[in-house]
Amino acid sequence: MLRLVCPCLFGLEKTLAFEIRRAGGENLAVRDGKVFFDGSEETMARVNLTSSCAERVGIVLGEFSSPDFDTLFEGALASPIEQFAGRDDAFPVVGGHSVNSRLTSIPAVQRTIKKALAIRMGKAYKVQRPAETGQVFPVHFLLQKDSCLLTLDTSGDRLHKRGYRAASLEAPIRETLAAGMIDLAHVRSFDNICDPFCGSGTILIESALKMLNIAPNMNRSFAAEKWGCFDKNIWEKERLAAKEQIKQEDITLYGFDKDPAAVRLTMENARKAGVDKYIKVQQRDIADFHFPIIPCKVITNPPYAKRLLTEEQAEDIYRTMGERMLPLGDNRLYVITSNEDFPALFGEKPKKERKLYNGMLKCRLYIYD
């Protein structure tokens, strides 16, 4: 059994916990922006392949108090990295954050952890200096309230990099956030989905993947696939199992955007994701919007002033949305924006709202269902 941890965007912990349980994770502990769990090698591979909201899957090497460099060093020295990395494998301390902690210098923390791990690896394999010429075992750290969480990253590139969005226009939504919105919208394969500001198509593509039960990370690789400590067959086995879970459904998703480049890009990305035959996109300004089919679930990330437009331009768009969409009738609407005046400008109060973060930008998902 491994103790594992997945970070996620704030607000998506519940969705992630559901996905981890579904993949076989046990003894879950949910904290802000993270879910810890126990799981086998297979569970680790399955979460990497199937989770739509996890940012990565880490193996917990240690969690210890670290108010100063001495305790940080001792904690790292007690972290059993040699259970995973072989004699000649590399273990770069690639990244980390310090939040509300006394130790704030990231490079100094990185050096201290590296030194301690190098001593431990040297002792374990009886070498003076580890060669680090083999496979890469990326080490991450998080210092929070003077406590250090040290992990081995099994994912490599962050999991929102599914592999289908090589190109994007301005202000694309992160795939993991789009997937979280879709989950909060309870998207099912019988729903009619529309995104009137589709940009590079992320919300439509993530919706199609969910509706067809396609594992979002099936077509990418992971750092741990090359590790000698795990059975190499598990990845192929889990990929095959994921393929068998794909549903054949008759679905159509509708996208609009006023930018013709967005129309082309959405189709290109959908093709890469293997869902282009389900997606219809047209160049259309929101001023000409009508529901392409009724009932329709509109899930969207309209432009907001901070990223693309002036305040007035964004507000005009929200007013136009209200003019074109209200009354909603049997249709449903899920809008993410950082503009807290959205309900007033749109012209109707949402039934619910959820705080979500688009990177560092605090946003709200306004739910009209």
Ligand X SMILES: C[S@@+](CC[C@H](N)C(=O)[O-])C[C@H]1O[C@@H](n2cnc3c(N)ncnc32)[C@H](O)[C@@H]1O
Q: Pick between residue 111 and residue 290 the one whose CB is nearest to ligand X.
A: 290
Q: Pick between residue 275 and residue 286 the one whose CB is nearest to ligand X.
A: 286
Of 99-138, binders to ligand X (CB under 6 A) are none
Q: How far is CA 100 from CA 94, 116, 148, in A?
A: 21, 23, 12
* Cα 130 from Cα 276, distance rounded (Å): 48
Give the pair of three-digit tokens for residue 22.
Answer: 């579904």
Q: Pick between residue 133 and residue 310 the one whose CB is nearest to ligand X.
A: 310
Of 160-189, binders to ligand X (CB under 6 A) are 168-169, 171-173
Say whether residue 285 binds ligand X (CB under 6 A).
yes
Q: Pick between residue 164 and residue 230 the one whose CB is nearest to ligand X.
A: 164
Which of 238, 257, 276, 315 lies at the binding interface for ligand X (CB under 6 A)? 257
Give the pair of three-digit tokens for residue 115.
Answer: 């030194």
> Per-residue x/- mask for ligand X, residues 30 to 49, rule CB under 6 A?
--------------------
CB of 164 to ligand X, least distance (A): 12
Of 114-122, 154-162, 251-259, 322-330: span binding ligand X (CB under 6 A): 251-259
CB of 345 to ligand X, least distance (A): 14
Tokens 């189709």 identify what position? 267
Rounded to a whole number of angstroms, the distance between the first and last alpha carbons of the chain is 41
Of 51-59, 73-81, 151-159, 296-304: span binding ligand X (CB under 6 A): 296-304
Q: Pick between residue 191 and residue 206 the one whose CB is nearest to ligand X.
A: 206
Which of 192, 301, 337, 358 lies at the binding interface for ligand X (CB under 6 A)? 301
Of 191-220, binders to ligand X (CB under 6 A) are 197, 199-200, 202-203
Amino acid at 128: Q
Of 304-333, binders to ligand X (CB under 6 A) are 317
Q: Report angle CA 304, 353, 202 to the nearest 5 degrees.
A: 50
CB of 308 to ligand X, least distance (A): 6
Binding residues (CB under 6 A) for ligand X: these are 168-169, 171-173, 197, 199-200, 202-203, 257-259, 262, 285-286, 301-303, 317
